[in-house]
Structure formats: C-alpha cells, structure tokens
Amino acid sequence: MGARLVKVTATGLVKAGPCILKSVHLVAGSAAATLGIQDSSAGGGSDTLTLGAVIGAGDSWTSGDGKGVVFSAGIYATLTGTGASASFEIEP
C-alpha cells in the first residue's frame, strides 16, 4: 500500500499505531503557527520534530533518505496558530 495524506487543523492524533512519516507541511493562517510532532498516541511527550511558520507562510520537512521515519506508537500533532493547518504524508 502506498502513502496517504492526512490534513489536520487542530491538536490531536494524526495516525494511531506504527507508521512511517515521509513528509509534513505546515501552513500558517492569520497568526504565526507552530507544529510539534510526537511519537505518541496521546501526546504529552517530547517533540520528535518541530516546525514554525510566520503569518501566511509555510514550512516543510521531508525525509532525507526518502524512506521516512518510523513512529512506533503513532503520530500526535500539537498545532498552534489561528487558521493553521498541517498535511502529513504517511505510510501505514
């Protein structure tokens, strides 16, 4: 099975269970935005990856080797900023 895209507009669980994160794109809305990504199904841990974007701009991360990064518990996103969204490229 190939990768799929998941878009989020609020803090919460992006994908439950083991998966591979290939890339992520953060878009800020009417306020600066931040995105913290954790290997967790419930949040509360340390961020594995953090992105930030100023008003109306974006920030991206793509796996350097193209294979992605394994998340064993799932992907949990903490998203801040009015109107912010994040799109995740995930392989189940």
pLDDT digits (tens, 9 = 90+) for 54-75: 999 999 999 998 899 999 999 9
In this prediction, residue 1 has a pLDDT band, given cuts at 50, 70 and 90, of: low
Inform me whether the pLDDT recorded for 29 exceeds 90: yes
40: pLDDT strictly greater than 70: yes
Q: What is the DSSP string of the chain?
A: ---EEEEESSSEEEEESSEEEEEEEEE--SS-EEEEEEE-SS--S--SEEEEE-TT-EEEEE-TTSS-EEESSEEEEEEESTT-EEEEEEE-
8 A C-beta contact, residue 59 and residue 26: yes
Q: Work out the average pLDDT over 23-40.
A: 98
**Res 77: pLDDT:** 98
Mean pLDDT of 63-88: 96
pLDDT mean over 26-43 = 97
What does the pLDDT read at residue 44?
85
Is the pTM higher than 0.85? The answer reads: yes
Can you list the domains of the chain with their CATH numbers? 4-91 (2.60.120)
